[in-house]
Structures are given as structure tokens and as C-alpha cells.
Structure 1
């Protein structure tokens, strides 16, 4: 069975805790919504920070809201070369043993000992979507894109929750390799 799934391309970004937001932007600071993201309640923020390691840095990296229980930085594997670190490819929130870095905001900076990952490619879906497709949370599937640089991606994680909306998340490396954009769809292959 195959099914067309909309794609969201995810560039490098940061999720922050309340504690770290206070340090980076000032006590009681509230994130400012720039635009909603594909997943309900998620949004790109106006706020940006710098990411720094001993070997490299990125300026003006966007924060995504809302606040999280643990600060997390998501980068591509190409980004990791510039930063000189080796992030594991992991599901969001699985941060144990990952490298850290320094996050610099306008009011202060935070050094996290762990929290930098390259997010594994994944598909968000509702419980109804999963039932229709015969899938469950944490299943692994393949997806195909038939464009000019068509590819089949293996090891795509299924994430199921009624708080999700059907959407496939790829990082910039993956999207660039297949010439996939935010307006494209991929086919789910079971």
C-alpha cells in the first residue's frame, strides 16, 4: 500500500526550556510566534540564538516553540561538520549521550552538556491515520520520492498521536539530496 504524505523540511533549530529561555532572553521572557508549523501548537519563533562549539558556530538559529522540558538542538549531519561534533541520529527527545554546545542569546548564554542531535526522518500521524495504514507508533517504513532526483528513504520512524497532523519531516540534507521542498509529497511504502 502507498499513500501520499506531505513533506516538511526541517532546518537547524533549537528547542529551549523555561530556565534556559530566562537566561538567554531575560527573566520571564515569552517567545514570539513568527509562524505556525505543520504540527498543531508548534511554531517558529522570531527569536534566534547563536550556536558555538570549539570548532565552529552558526549565527541566528531559530528557536521553535513552545518551551520544552529539555533544551534540544537539531542540526543536519552537514551542519555537524562545521561545528566539529558528531551528533547521533535520534528521535526527538532522545538526548542521552549526545554532544553539547553553547547557546548564546541577547541576555546570556547556556552551555548544554548534551542535547545536540540529527533528528531521524519521521512521519507524524494521527491514531486514525495509523489505523488506516496498519501502522503503530515507532514502526519503521520506507518512503519514495519520484522527482528529478528521486530517492527511496529507508528507516523512516512512525510517530503516532492524536495531537499530530499527517506530515513527513526530513532535514535539509535529506531534502536537498532528493530535491524535495515543503510543497512536495512523498509516497509511504510499507
Structure 2
């Protein structure tokens, strides 16, 4: 993808502090397909909203599952809703060590030849042959945000984290949709490395 350079907007945005992007830290979680939801929780299973998430229409459900790998297990992994066409498990590099699997870093939905893992629920278990990934860091944007930042869906940008453990995050995917709310998503490993918490701010920088 082309990495764009929104110099004109950013110069003005920095003056008004509008370049700041809120951070959402993603812990390990699962998106289930309908058939896997039934296999794990029973024939009449439906995801129950536990807490709404920042992105419109998305929610953390009350349902929890266990992940099982060759070397270990991780319990109480939250299922997010609504259901999807394919089951997707998102974990961190640290989780890979605990489970004993090698999940690739992928954009959401890019599951071909990704890692195998077993999911265990109260009604049964499912082993997915592929679908376990380390989610690539990304920024959700509404179309109006994309115009302001001078980027398009699929672009890759560089993000600066300030503070005592400041870092640069390179190759951050921009995802643009009319239902998205401005927010950068990173996993727990990345957040801990940069001392970031939910609702902290980062900024896109020029090259």
C-alpha cells in the first residue's frame, strides 16, 4: 500500500492539537462464527451483551472460552460480538509462548494459513485449523477523519507515542468505514512496551 504524507493537514492540526488519536488496548479475544458459537455454548446460544465497545455495534459478551495449545491453556477469554462469518482468535506474542503456537501478525480477516488452536466452551470444543492471529496494529477512522488526516483506507502510517517510554509504531494500517470511530488499536504487549493505556493519545507523524 502507498504510505501517504499528510503534511498540509498535519501542520495545521498540530497547532490545534487535533492530530491526537485515542488509543484502545485490545486484550486477547475471540470472534465466533455462528456454528462455532453453537458448538461451544449449545443449540440455542446467543451472545449476550456484557459491555459496549468503542466501535459502534461492537460489544464484549458475557460468554468466555478457554484456548488450548500444545504447551498450555489460557482461560476466561472474552468473546466479542456480533458473530462473524469465520471464527477469528486474536492473541499477543506473549500468549503464543504460553500456548505453544506460532500465530502470524495479520490484518483482521486475513486468516489463510494462520495458526491452529482449540476453543473450549461449556457445551463442547472446536479446533480451528486456521484463524488464530496476532492482530496488526491499526487505526479506525470515519470517512471524515480520513479526509482530515489526508489518508485512505488501506494506507500505512507512522504513529508517534510520547512520554518516558516513547516509541514509533511503523506500518500502522488505516481502516476507514462510515461506522468507525477514531481510535488506534494495539495489543497488550505493544501497550505495555510503550506504557499506554486506554484513552491515551498518540499522533500520526509525517516522514
Give the TM-score normalised by structure 2.
Answer: 0.90
Kindly report which structure 2 residues correspond to 1:109-124, keeping only aligned pairs within 5 A, or say none. 109-124=125-140
In the alignment, which of 39, 61, 71 is matched to residue 77 of structure 2?
A: 61
* Corresponding position of 2:48: 32
Runs of 4+, deviation exceeding 6 Å: none
Where does residue 89 of structure 1 map in the other structure?
A: 105
State how far apart, in whole Å, the 2-side matches of 1:46 and 1:28 are. Answer: 15
2:68 pairs, out of 17, 40, 52, with 52
Hey, what's the Cα distance between the residues in 2 that align with 1:17 and 1:97? 18
Counterpart position of 1:13:
29
* SS of equivalent residue, structure 1 residue 46: strand
The separation in 1 between residues aligned to 2:65 and 2:46, in whole angstroms, is: 15
CA positional deviation for 1:162: 0.5
Report the alpha carbon displacement of residue 9 of structure 1 after superposing the two structures with TM. 0.0
Q: Which runs of 5+ in 1 are unaligned?
A: none
**Number of the residue aligned with 2:6:** none
**Aligned position for 1:147:** 163
Which one of the candidate residues 165, 169, 180 is aligned to 2:181?
A: 165
Q: Which moved more, 1:146-155 or 1:91-100?
A: 146-155
Which consecutive unaligned segments of at least 5 residues does structure 2 have? 1-9
RMSD of aligned residue pairs (Cα, Å): 0.9
Residues in 2 aligned to 1:74 and 1:86: alpha-carbon distance in whole angstroms: 12
Aligned counterparts of 1:158 and 1:105: Cα–Cα separation in 2: 34
Q: Partner residue of 1:43?
A: 59
Q: Please show how residues 126-137 of structure 1 align to structure 2 within 5 Å.
A: 126-137=142-153
C-alpha deviation, 1:28, in angstroms? 2.2
Number of aligned residue pairs:
190
Tell me the alpha carbon deviations over residues 56-99 of structure 1, each in whole angstroms, 9 at most, x when there is no partner: 11011000100011000000011111111111111111000001
Q: CA deviation at 1:102?
A: 0.7
Larger radius of gyration: 2
Aligned to 1:182: 198
What displacement does 1:15 show? Answer: 0.4
Q: TM-score, normalised by structure 1?
A: 0.98
